Amino acid sequence: MTPSNTHGAMSAYYQFPDLTGMPGLPPPNPNLPEKAWSDPNASATEPMTYDVWNESDTSPAVRKLVVPPEQRFANLPGEPPVFPPYAPAATTAVGSIPNGFSSNQIAPLLSMRAEADALAALIPGTAVIDPYDPAVNSFEHVVYPPGELRRTWVLKYPSGLEAFVGTLLAAENAKGVGFPGSWDAGSGGLVWVPGAAPTGAVAPGPAVPFPLLLPTGAKLVAVSVGAGLSTVEVQLSEPVPASTGGGLTAAQDQRLARIESMLDALLAADRVPIPPG
């Protein structure tokens, strides 16, 4: 049987779709190379191995590509991400004494206890307190409306410094919600250090190639590359060894002939009369 060859775009054999131009992709990571595909079943902890073209147009073949878990998502260059402005939710909480805290003054100081605990964990030994809790400050405290779950949480660091969690959240989001950066604790308290503004670029260098999913037994026999496109010729089946006829190989023919000879001998023996005893 003669092998069957097919011609077509390399993309016809991609294991995963090309996500270029698709909405909803994660923002580009400038520390990772360009990657226009994503494996929905990729492990978050273990590397994955794929079959890819060896990028040779003279001796095309499939090679193995190992993709680490941090590269499991698509990573495409695009416009710089937009970070929405930060504004604490309004509140109707007020101070307990006349001419005390107004609602507008209280709102920037409010935070959830979970947010306070997460920041406190960054400096061991930090306590979370609420200086305007009625149980702590009976003279001047904050009166909260029903449904207001935030409080005027304060971090009290081992250094003795204190900071409202709401103020820290405002610092973290000063350049927009989600703007990159990190907390520095070197001064005895938490200080937000903004990172570099994302540009929408990815790491320089070649893109991560697309995995190929070829039919069983198929192999690449020719690849032509031009104008950024790849046309591939795929051999869909391996050649069948030459035979003497009937679809059998020479060795199979010889074995069949021996079997037929043995059967003929057995049949001939059956036809020999058995002398009376």
Kindly report whether the global pTM for this prediction surpasses the value 0.75: no
What pLDDT, in 10s, does the model give residues 53-64?
998 888 888 999
Q: Which long-range contacts (CB under 8 A, 24 or more apart) does 88-93 make?
A: 88/166, 88/169, 88/170, 89/150, 91/144, 91/145, 91/148, 91/150, 92/145, 92/148, 93/142, 93/143, 93/144, 93/145, 93/148
| Greater model confidence, 52 or 217 | 52
Tell me how far the alpha carbon of residue 273 is from its chain's centroid.
82
Looking at residue 141, its amino acid is H
Task: Encode pLDDT of 206-252 as tens digits.
Answer: 999 999 998 887 888 888 876 566 677 776 655 444 444 445 555 66
- Beta strand 219-226 pairing with 229-235: antiparallel
User: 15 exposed, middle or buried (CB, 10 Å; 0-12, 13-18, 19+)?
Assistant: middle
| Mean pLDDT, rounded, for 259-272 | 66
- 119 and 165 in contact (C-beta within 8 Å)? yes
For residue 210, the model assigns a pLDDT of 95
